[in-house]
Amino acid sequence: MIDRDAHQHRPLCVLGSTGSIGVSTLDVARHLSIPVHTLTAHTRLEALAEQARVHGVQRVVCARGEDVGRLRGLLADQPHIEVCGGAAALCEAAGDEHCPTVVTAIVGGAGLEPTLAAVRSGKRVAIANKEPLVMAGELITAEAMHYGATLLPVDSEHSAIFQCLEHHRQSDISQLLLTASGGPFRTIHNLSQVTVEQALNHPNWSMGAKITIDSATLMNKALEVIEAHHLFAIDVSRIEVVVHPQSIIHSLVAFADGSLMAQLGAPDMRTPIQYALTWPYHRSGPVACPDLLAIARLDFETPDHKRFPALELGRHCAQLGGIAPVIFNAANEVAVERFLAQDIRFVDITHGIAEAVDALSSAKYGHSLEDILAADAEARSWLTGWQPR
Ligand code: NAD
Ligand code: MG
C-alpha cells in the first residue's frame, strides 16, 4: 500500500538548523509531524538548545568541539540528549542511520564534508547548501549514484525544475530557465556606492546574510547555474537565466516540442523544503497557493551583465571546469565577508573573484576531495590578502 505520510516515519537530521533554511525546515517538520532526530549549528548555541527542547531531539552537534561544554550546560535539563561537537561529529551525525533524511542547511563550503557524509550513507539528502555542489558536483553526484543516495533539491529554482522534469525524458529537454528576482539593485544604475544595509534588503526573500549578498551581486544565480548543471546533468550552455521580479515562477523547463513548463508558488522556502521532505507527494502544509488575481502580472527581463558580471563569470568558470568553480566559490565567500565587514565595496566583490579566478584557476589540482579542499583554502587566503585597485 502507498503511504503518502511516509515522511512521518523518516526522522530528520538538520545540518545548520539555526539558520534561515534550518528554521523553516523545523517549521515544516512541526506542521507535518515529521520527527527530528539531530540538529547542528555553528554559533547561536542558545537557539540550538531551544530548538532541541521544542522538537524533542536525540542529538545536537555544535560545529566547534570547544563549544561542547557550553552546549551541554545549556541542555543540563535534558540529560537524554546526546551533545557532541567538532568536524568529525558533524559528519558522523550526517551519516547516522537513525536519520533517513538529512537537510543540508549549512552556509558555504563548510557544508561540503557533512554533505558527502550524508550522501555516502545512501539516504535522502535534501540539498539547500548549494556551495558544495558548486565545488564538488561531480564527486557528490557520483557518490550519490554509488551509495544509492537520493538528492532532493531545496533551492526553489531547482525544486521547480525537478518538479517540471518528473516523468519526462532527459533527451526531450531543450533548456532550463532559472528565474532570478534581480535582487535589491535591479533598478539601481550606479552600484559603486551602495551600502551593506541596502544590499541586505532583499525585495522578496528573507534569507541568511551570505545568500542575500549573493542575490544582490547575482552571484547566487551563477552558483545556481552550476548547481543545476550538476543536479540535472545538463550543460551550462543550455541553462538560461531570466529576471522575474515577482519571484512567483520559480523556474521553467523548455522542451523540444516548444512547450514550456513552470512551477509557481509563493516566495516562501517552506514550499520547496516541504516537497523535498514529502517527495514524491504534495501534502498539505503551512504555505498557501499564491493568489494570481492579487499578483495580477508576471514580468520578465534579461539580466544586465554589465552591472552584474558575476553571472557570466560563473558560466565561464563552469566551462573552464576543474578547479575554477572551487576558486570562484571560495573567493566569493571571503569577498562577501569582507564586504559585510565594510572592508571592500560592493562592486569589488566580483572584481576580486574575477582576479582570483585569473590568478589561480590554472593551478595544478586534481578532482579528489583533498585537492578541492586545498584549492578552496588557497583561494580563501588569496582573497583575504587581495586589495582592490
Ligand atoms: P544562514 O546563515 O541563515 O544559516 C546557516 C546555518 O549554518 C546556521 O545554522 C549556522 O550555525 C550554520 N553554519 C554556519 N557556518 C558553519 C560552519 N562553518 N560549520 C557548520 N555550520 C555552520 O544561511 P541560510 O540562508 O539558511 O542558507 C543556508 C544554505 O541554503 C546556503 O547554502 C544557501 O545558499 C542555501 N539557500 C538558502 C535559501 C534561503 O532562503 N535562506 C534559499 C535557497 C538556498
Ligand atoms: Mg534559489
For residue 81, what pLDDT is reported? 98
Query: Considering only 37-46, 161-170, 262-271, which range has the smallest mean pLDDT?
Result: 161-170
Dihedral of CA 316/319/324/329: which sign?
Answer: positive
The band of 94, judged by pLDDT with boundaries at 50, 70 and 90, is: very high
Q: Report the distance separating Cα 259 and Cα 270, nearest Å.
A: 28
Which ligand sits closest to the CA of 269?
1
Q: Check residues 2 and 111 and name the one with the higher pLDDT.
A: 111
For residue 291, what pLDDT is reported? 96
DSSP states of 149-200 as a string?
-EEEE-SHHHHHHHHHHTT--GGGEEEEEEEE---TTTT-S--TT--HHHHT
Closest ligand 1 atom, residue 22 Cα: 26
Instruction: List pocket residues of ligand 1, CB cut-off 6 Å.
Output: 16-22, 41-43, 63, 105-107, 110, 128-131, 155, 205, 207-208, 210-211, 269
Average pLDDT over residues 285-298: 96
* Residue 137 vs residues 68, 69, 239, 368: alpha-carbon distances, Å: 32, 36, 16, 12
Average pLDDT over residues 33-60: 98
Count the alpha carbons within 13 Å of 290 in the hemisphere toward its beta carbon.
Answer: 19
The band of 362, judged by pLDDT with boundaries at 50, 70 and 90, is: confident
For residue 361, what pLDDT is reported? 87
3 state SS of 280: coil
From 26, 60, 107, 134, mutation site for ligand 1 pocket: most ligand atoms within 8 A of C-beta: 107
Alpha carbon of 53 to ligand 2 centroid (Å):
30
Alpha carbon of 25 to ligand 1 centroid (Å):
12
From 103, 135, 206, 211, mutation site for ligand 1 pocket: most ligand atoms within 8 A of C-beta: 211
Dihedral of CA 210/266/274/154: which sign?
Answer: negative
Alpha carbon of 215 to ligand 2 centroid (Å):
9
Closest ligand 1 atom, residue 220 Cα: 34
Which ligand sits closest to the CA of 109?
1
Q: Could you give all domains of the chain from N- to C-terminal order, each with its CATH number?
A: 6-154 (3.40.50.720), 157-268+290-305 (no CATH), 321-389 (1.10.1740.10)
The band of 236, judged by pLDDT with boundaries at 50, 70 and 90, is: very high
The pLDDT of residue 54 is above 80:
yes
Q: CB atoms < 10 A from the CB of 51, how many? A: 21
From 20, 129, 161, 217, mutation site for ligand 1 pocket: most ligand atoms within 8 A of C-beta: 20
Please give the single-letter amino acid code of residue 174. Answer: S
pLDDT tens-place string over residues 113-166: 999 999 999 999 999 999 999 999 999 999 999 999 999 999 999 999 999 999
- Selection from 7, 18, 76, 79 nearest residue 45 by Cα: 18
Which ligand sits closest to the CA of 16?
1
- The reported pTM is 0.98
The pLDDT of residue 309 is above 80:
yes
For residue 225, what pLDDT is reported? 98
| Ligand 2 (single-atom ion) residues, CB below 5 Å | 155-157
| % pLDDT > 70, the chain | 100
3 state SS of 60: strand
- Selection from 231, 19, 21 nearest residue 134 by Cα: 231
Closest ligand 1 atom, residue 131 Cα: 32
Which residue has a Cα nearest atom 25 of ligand 1?
208
Alpha carbon of 246 to ligand 2 centroid (Å):
14
The pLDDT of residue 321 is above 80:
yes
Closest ligand 1 atom, residue 206 Cα: 40
Closest ligand 1 atom, residue 223 Cα: 34
Closest ligand 1 atom, residue 269 Cα: 40
The pLDDT of residue 363 is above 80:
no
For residue 1, what pLDDT is reported? 80
Alpha carbon of 91 to ligand 2 centroid (Å):
25
Query: Considering only 27-31, 222-226, 347-351, 364-368, which range has the smallest mean pLDDT?
Result: 364-368
From 18, 207, 376, mutation site for ligand 1 pocket: most ligand atoms within 8 A of C-beta: 207
